[in-house]
Amino acid sequence: MLFNQPVPAGTSRAWYGEGMKHALAALLAVVPMLGAVKILSETANGNRTARQTMIIDSDKMRADMTSSTGESTSVMFLTDGGRDRFVLLDTAKNEYREIDQQTMKRMSQQMQGAMTQLNERLKNLTPEQRAMMEKMMKGQMPPGMGQVTKQEPVVYKATGSGNVNGFACTMYQGTRGGEKVVEVCAAQPNQLKVTAADMQVFERLKQFTAEMTSAIGNFASAAAQFADVGVPGFPVSRVTYNGGQVTHKSEVKSVGRAALTGSEFSTGGAKKAEFMPGARKR
């Protein structure tokens, strides 16, 4: 029907038909780029494998994770209204929790208060008792508690090129205190066949997770894995190490497009719960 339309005066039908075909081909080339980005990946921990489906729509993202036992968890990062926040959705309990700038500030204040109380108690400990407590905490005691210093940041260094399930990427090795703790292969948007605009949410996510880690310490370090702060591009492979042994290995399996139904970034009828039960709002 498209090519049976009237031909403009002074234009040959053959030339007009070819022009319309090229226009249609250009339109069809754009259509696959419409819709949200859908990324499927897997994470292995020993003989257990978890699957993750990530939906990215320019300024927001959602990750649905299913464990090897069938348990599922959903995490959203939303930026609407100028308010960046994580939303943790528990479909089993039909409730959700949010962590935003206000929540981070409140948590930071509470942790500082708790550390002040603990430091007061530590003053009465002998050096032997203090050393025993530090050993029990395996060096993870918060700064200011005893003599344990803050954990060093991971330093990344490019080590070459790689290819993960057909995705070309750049390899990075991350070390902490001279010890290898992570290896990442990160791909640029064009290598994933998406646009930079599709992935712009990760820039805000990187900033948010950096602020969250600064505010509430290692408690938030797991959230930074979504953005892999310090590595340019999107991680299509991530291997973590502890004492030279592999602890986790995650890989992107496929990247495609998905039409949104409108419910992907909604909490539905879930009820909001306090991120930290019993916390006082300021």
Q: Is the dihedral of CA 134, 135, 137, 143 positive or negative?
A: positive
At 276 the pLDDT is 62
Lookup: tokens for 125: 């400990």
* Sequence letter at residue 91: T
pLDDT in tens, 239-253: 999 999 999 999 999
Domain ranges of the chain: 2-32, 34-103+150-272
H-state helical runs in the chain: 13-30, 101-122, 127-136, 201-216
At 81 the pLDDT is 82
More confident residue, 185 or 8: 185
Contact 234, 189 (CB under 8 A): yes
Please name the fold of domain 34-103+150-272: outer membrane lipoprotein receptor (LolB), chain A (2.50.20)
Contact 72, 65 (CB under 8 A): yes
Q: Is the dihedral of CA 125, 131, 136, 142 positive or negative?
A: positive
Q: Give the bridge partners for 221, in sequence order.
A: none
Q: Is the pLDDT of residue 84 over 60?
A: yes
At 29 the pLDDT is 39
Lookup: tokens for 84: 């960046």
Q: Is the pLDDT of residue 4 over 50?
A: no
Determine if residue 243 is left, alpha or beta; phi over 0 gives left, psi from -120 to 50 gives alpha, anything else beta. left
pTM of the model: 0.69
**CA nearest neighbour of 40 among 58, 66, 76, 59:** 66
Q: What is the mean pLDDT of the chain?
A: 77
- Distant-in-sequence, close-in-space partners of 222: CB < 8 Å, separation ≥ 6: none
3-state secondary structure of 132: helix
Name the band, by pLDDT with cuts 50, 70 and 90, for residue 40: very high
Count of alpha carbons within 13 Å of 157, Cβ hemisphere only? 8
At 34 the pLDDT is 56
